[in-house]
């Protein structure tokens, strides 16, 4: 399966260690509805910045957990049996193998921490 999604997902590592990461400048320069940028690598994981508005598709990651932390806006994480609501300065970890979908009813800026090799598109329920 290879669906095409309208997400701008930059998997390249943008910042080296000891380099200042200016999140407000990245947010100011972004004019897309769904943008992810890998900021830096931390051991076997990466920190990614998400600037999102709207819905992502339902998916799961078989072998990787994902951590979401909201800086501004609001992130809703739909699970099969409930919705987790994250507001500024709140975070949650989604366990590997759990089907989920993220939604942002308004422009939302979030930090994600996940393994460096994760495919953000994940596996869909077909």
Residue 1 inside a domain? The answer is no
Residue 3 inside a domain? The answer is no
Return the higher-pLDDT residue of 43 and 123: 43
Domain that holds residue 77: 8-115
Q: Can you tell me the distance from the alpha carbon of 90 to that of 17, in angstroms, rounded to the nearest whole number?
A: 25
Nearest CA among 109, 67, 65, 66 for reference residue 87: 109
Residue 77 inside a domain? The answer is yes
Q: What is the pLDDT of residue 10?
A: 84
Nearest CA among 124, 66, 77 for reference residue 103: 77
Q: What is the pLDDT of residue 4?
A: 65
Could you list the beta-strand ranges (E) of 57-117.
66-72, 75-79, 83-86, 91-94, 100-115
Task: Say how many C-beta atoms besides its own lie within 10 A of residue 80's C-beta.
Answer: 10
Token duo for residue 122? 């994940």
| Banded model confidence at residue 9, pLDDT cuts 50, 70, 90 | confident
Residue 124 inside a domain? The answer is no
Residue 63 inside a domain? The answer is yes
How do residues 87-117 score in pLDDT, each as one tens digit? 999 999 999 999 999 999 999 999 999 998 8
Residue 125 inside a domain? The answer is no
| Banded model confidence at residue 2, pLDDT cuts 50, 70, 90 | very low
Q: Can you tell me the distance from the alpha carbon of 48 to that of 42, in angstroms, rounded to the nearest whole number?
A: 11
Domain count for the chain, please give it.
1
Q: What is the pLDDT of residue 101?
A: 95
CATH of the domain at 72: 2.60.120.10
In the block, residue with structure tokens 């800026």: 109
Residue 107 inside a domain? The answer is yes
How do residues 31-82 score in pLDDT, each as one tens digit? 999 999 999 999 999 999 999 999 998 999 999 999 999 999 999 999 999 9
- The answer to whether the beta carbons of residues 123 and 97 sit under 8 Å apart is no
């Amino acid at each position: 399966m290879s669906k095409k999604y309208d997400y701008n997902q930059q998997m390249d590592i943008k910042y080296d260690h000891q380099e200042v990461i200016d999140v407000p400048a990245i947010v100011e320069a972004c004019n897309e509805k769904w943008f992810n940028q890998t900021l830096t690598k931390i051991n076997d994981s990466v920190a990614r910045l998400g600037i999102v508005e709207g819905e992502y598709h339902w998916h799961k990651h078989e072998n990787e957990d994902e951590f979401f932390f909201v800086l501004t806006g609001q992130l809703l994480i739909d699970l099969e049996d409930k919705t987790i609501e994250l507001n500024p300065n709140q975070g949650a970890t989604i366990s590997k193998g759990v089907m989920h979908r993220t939604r942002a009813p308004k422009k939302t800026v979030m930090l994600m921490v996940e393994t460096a090799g994760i495919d953000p598109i994940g596996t869909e329920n077909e």
